[in-house]
Amino acid sequence: MSIKTGILGATGYTGAELLRLLSVHTGVSLEWLTSEKFAGKKIDWVFPHLRGFSDIECSSVAGLKDLGKVDVAFSCLPHGSSMHFTARLLDAGVRVIDFSADFRFADPAVYERLFGGPHKYKTLIDEAVYGIPEIFRDDIRSARLVANPGCFATGVILGLYPLISEGLVDAGSIVADAKAGASGGGRAPSLPHHFPESNENVKVSASASDSQGPEMENVLSAFSSTGVSIGFMSHTLPINRGILTTIYSRLKETAAPEFISGVYGKYFGAEPFVRLYAPDKYPEIKDVRHTNLCGIGFRVKQDRLIAVTALDNLVKGASGQAVQNMNIMFGFEETRSLGGSGIYP
């Protein structure tokens, strides 16, 4: 089986990672790419590391109707812009995996409050499936539209989902603190990403905190008898990629570490892209860098449960998870093109 794919906004960091993964996927034929900045340029000129893997010429998204029909399109366009092209692709019979936040929220009013503009395609929100396969695999399989999750949200949701589902933690006690690599801020040059400004520095990333905190609460509240409230803050580290998140919560009742291990094993023990750690052992960014893995460790101290998750923001936090979703949607082996180990050192 072979499917045809296209990528909207292919020349950012998530687009580059997506191209890397799809170029070695034997069930995929890459048909077209769009880029406003690099329209008319071949992709291996934009990203020389792709030389010998792909030489497709980038096109402007304005010519979308002339690019030819594909089976699935990945939209790496910004919030607010992606929805318009997603709707056009769906109307043309193309399945879409959207990297933006445009279809992540069940309530359009939440999206409009967070992103400061009207949502033009409210009818599509109802059919969008949130793209964490470890939780929504059955719905993803038949979805026309998958809302690929935020990178911070992925780590927090996976770290909390078993605990919330089993009713083990106080849903109003949760605080999450994330540290992330600079690639999460995008590829476009800006003063905050200028080397002398970012090197040897750690700073708060308020915009990501404000948008992805509600995203986590929205998803996890569906598995709780009460609404989930998360005090979330993210920070940027002077490294290229990776997210390490520490999640603090209060247990409703005292629980032994072995019991908590059993709960995580019940939900994730058979998952190919979740790596579980023994009590008081924790994942590190270097353990998961360049992989589609999310590592989860924890400790129990009296009535406190502290979970730690690590993932690569460009892979499990974005493009790798999107390919995982595509594999499910089209009946490929879920690990196809995603099974490699990390790069060390």
Q: Catalytic residue positions?
A: 151
Whole-angstrom Cα distance, residue 9 to residue 61? 8
Phi and psi dihedrals of 127, rounded to 5?
A: -100, -5
Whole-angstrom Cα distance, residue 55 to residue 229? 47
- C-alpha closest to that of 50 among 10, 15, 23: 23
In which element (H, E) is residue 172 found?
Answer: none
Query: Order of strands, edge to edge, in the sheet holding 3-8?
Result: 58-59, 28-34, 3-8, 72-75, 95-98, 145-147, 129-130
Distance of CA 203 to the CA centre of its chain: 22
307: amino acid identity, one letter: A
How many beta carbons lie within 10 A of that of residue 321, not counting itself?
27
Classified as helix, coil or strand, 147 is: strand
Phi and psi dihedrals of 158, rounded to 5?
A: -65, -35
Q: 136, 129 in Cβ contact below 8 A?
A: yes
Q: 294, 314 in Cβ contact below 8 A?
A: no
Whole-angstrom Cα distance, residue 287 to residue 326? 25
For the chain, the C-alpha Rg in angstroms (whole number) is 20
Burial group, residue 39, by CB count within 10 angstroms (0-12, 13-18, 19+): middle
- C-alpha closest to that of 219 among 232, 204, 235, 206: 232
